[in-house]
Copies of this chain bind each other. A is one copy, B any other.
């Protein structure tokens, strides 16, 4: 874990928990289900990016905290709905029973809806961000998480199931399904710092697109090369599920090379930011050489 992550991890964990406020009316189970999935030990990649982009743009990291948490809530809701029987039908998520296994399907559906809605409630609560910038954040997050972004990626993914798809389609699925929210995380950091310069916003997008793409390629590589114990989930599942992957399309060597190139492009995009960030450069590199 890099220094920036060590410094802010607990801050993010506490904030996520605090934003899920207590309700008086007996609907406690939904709060419990939301917290169960939200606190299930993710790497917090997205909120870290939001905080780091706020800092690299000269903003106060703590001002970006509600934005960072909102992105993580969207990410968590998408995992809950993704695991439902009508979608991927996954019983486990990070080694624990998935939300619907623990709380039942109806509660999991509603917990996902609740987190999606809470994300926007949390954005609206950002205290030290100008109203115009909160409105921008609502617009960017809803667009990139919506049917033109993340949800759109899910749809194309569903349509492509059990089909061999080409490089372009696979890239499009990942760009929307995973990349869109990573992009939102980076942009919301810039917006929290009050950035309006299109060149800076574009550079943040470019960084996010490149690390998102590299991340997905390495995911496919690890499914072939890692051992189950290190990865913490079964390897070889892509092969078993006859899933199209970048490894199948390009081979291992070309995948590694592409991931390295994308990482270098991400790092070079950082030159356009108002300040330098060792963390963002190291973070991009760490994602490309990770073994889990």
Contact = CB atoms under 8 A, between A and B. Distances in A.
A139 interface: yes
What's the dominant secondary structure at chain A's contact region?
helix
Contacts of A123: 138
Interface in A124-157: 124-125, 130-132, 134-136, 138-139, 141-143, 145-148, 151-156
Interface of A: 21, 23, 25-27, 29-31, 34, 77, 81, 84-87, 104-107, 109-110, 112-114, 116-118, 120-121, 123-125, 130-132, 134-136, 138-139, 141-143, 145-148, 151-156, 158-159, 172, 176
A137 to B, nearest CB: 9
| Copies in the assembly, this chain | 2
Given A81-B109, A112-B113, A117-B146, 17 more contacts: A21-B148, A23-B148, A25-B172, A27-B152, A77-B113, A86-B106, A109-B109, A110-B147, A110-B158, A118-B146, A120-B142, A121-B139, A121-B146, A124-B135, A131-B131, A131-B135, A135-B138
Given A30-B152, A106-B86, A120-B138, A114 B25 contact: no
A142 B84 CA distance: 24
Contacts of A159: 26, 29
A192 to B, nearest CB: 14
